[in-house]
Structure 1
Amino acid sequence: MNDAGRPRRPDIDPAAFFSTDLRVGRILDVVPFPEARKPAYRITVDFGPEVGVLRTSAQVTNYAPEELVGRGVVGAINLGTKRVAGFTSEFLLLGSYAADGVVHLLAPGPAAAPGDVVG
């Protein structure tokens, strides 16, 4: 879904936003996901000792796998799981959509560590 240029969404109760568990993670592994309908990767991320390692599928093939491994990212880790072409996606990797539909991953600051809470 491309949200670039989308009108502002309606206001929500702050409790709804703050119930989302946003965490800093570090990408450990990236592999192609040819079974997905649109070009995607299967991505493994370390979210620190309290959360552990989670996997997701993401349509971020504008990045080469070697650009992603070791990169800090932000993920929503308490949205439940979703099956994507037989693969269980365990969190949502956060990024912004450019006008041309390209995803730019959100990046934590350089001092942020896996497991840090985003809020």
Structure 2
Amino acid sequence: MISPEISWTDFEKIDIRSGTVISVSDFPKAKRPAYLLTIDFGDLGLKKSSAQITDLYKIDDLVGKQILAVVNFPKKQIANFMSECLVLGLFDEEKKVTLITPTMKIKNGSRLG
């Protein structure tokens, strides 16, 4: 099922940027298994996020990985943690998340266009 149609103006409000994961730790207080990520978005600085990506990724797989994230959502409290961005991924049939990543190295903070 496709979500309701949005306008181009609606889409332009979503700020999706590239970033590099610089640190990862387990997040035992999360309701569902998750990691705590610190992501370098270049000129936008460092942002933290909680990501439920433990099914397909190990901590060592993530450090240094470039990802895409929405950086202009309001902060969201998840257990005792404030998430500052939404890391983007795709769900498979079993609801496991595959991260959306650039196919080539790109400057941190580059905007999806």
Say yes or no: TM over 0.5. Answer: yes
Residue equivalent to 1:4:
none
1:28-39 map, 5 Å: 28-39=22-33
**Which stretch of structure 1 is more off in the superposition, 109-118 or 60-69?**
109-118
Q: Could you say what the CA RMSD is over the residues aligned between the two structures, in angstroms? A: 0.7
Among 16, 21, 36, the alignment partner of 1:22 is: 16
Residue 117 of structure 1 pairs with residue 107 of structure 2 = no
Residue 99 of structure 1 pairs with residue 93 of structure 2 = yes
CA drift at 1:111: 3.2
Residue equivalent to 2:49:
56
CA drift at 1:109: 2.6
What TM-score do you get using the length of structure 1 for normalisation? Answer: 0.91
1:20-78 deviation line (CA, Å, top 9, x unaligned): 11100000001000000000000000000x20000000100020000000001001000
Q: Work out the percentage of aligned pairs sharing the same amino acid.
A: 36
Q: Which runs of 4+ in 1 moved over 6 A?
A: none
Q: Number of residues paired by the alignment? A: 112
User: Could you tell me whether the CA contact under 8 Å between 2:66 and 2:105 is conserved in 1?
Assistant: no
The aligned amino acid for 2:78 is V
Among 25, 28, 36, the alignment partner of 1:42 is: 36
